[in-house]
Amino acid sequence: MSDELRPMRWWDIEPVMSIEESVFESTAWSAAQFWGELAHDDRAYVVLDDDEGVVGYAGLMVRPPTADVQTIAVAPRARRRGLATAMLRHLLEVAEASGCREVMLEVRADSAGAVALYEMHGFEVIARRTSYYGPGLDALIMRRARETP
């Protein structure tokens, strides 16, 4: 079976939490936060499955004319397969189909791989939040504007 992208459901929270805690450690969301996200009508969350189960997830808040990437994470065992790229592209398609003219996000400034991914997809740094993720852990605020004809 190849990697399969599908909507996140409540039964995905447990495997998502395993990835969340391994990827984000001290800044990981709680299961209650994921439950809350899934309860909102203006959210679009997806998971990626492979033969062994959930290997990635991503979420978007959609409030036209702006969408916000809430999270993207890939299990360490499944990295370097283009999964984050596939999920980001999906989120961007959802944003565009929903009429959003821009997509925003926050990313840890020291997460070079994530920053590079977002820059490759047209995001630009517009601001920095000092110690947003904790003492000494700054966030970059990034924006991708849809080109108008």
For 89-121, write each residue's pLDDT tens digit. Answer: 999 999 999 999 999 999 999 999 999 999 999
For residue 138, the tally of other CB atoms under 10 A from its CB is 16
Which position has the token pair 């592209």? 89
- pLDDT of res. 147: 66
Residue 119, domain extent: 4-145
Closest to 146 in 3D by CA, of 123, 119, 115? 123
- pLDDT of res. 50: 87
- Using CA atoms, how far residue 56 sits from 33, 67, 115, 146, in Å, is 17, 20, 18, 26
| 92 vs 25, more confident | 92
- How many domains does one find in the chain? 1
CB 144 within 8 A of CB 123: yes
| Tokens standing for residue 108 | 């840890």
Task: Supply the CATH number for residue 85's domain.
Answer: 3.40.630.30
- pLDDT of res. 134: 86
pLDDT digits (tens, 9 = 90+) for 7-23: 999 999 999 999 999 99
User: Does the structure show a pLDDT above 80 at 27?
Assistant: yes
- Using CA atoms, how far residue 140 sits from 12, 17, 76, 99, 107, in Å, is 29, 24, 23, 25, 5
Is the alpha carbon torsion for 20, 94, 60, 13 positive or negative? negative
Annotate 75-95 with b (16+ C-beta within 10 A) or e (fewer): beebeeeebbebbbebbbebb
| pTM of the full structure | 0.91
- pLDDT of res. 51: 85
- pLDDT of res. 148: 55
Which position has the token pair 């189909």? 97
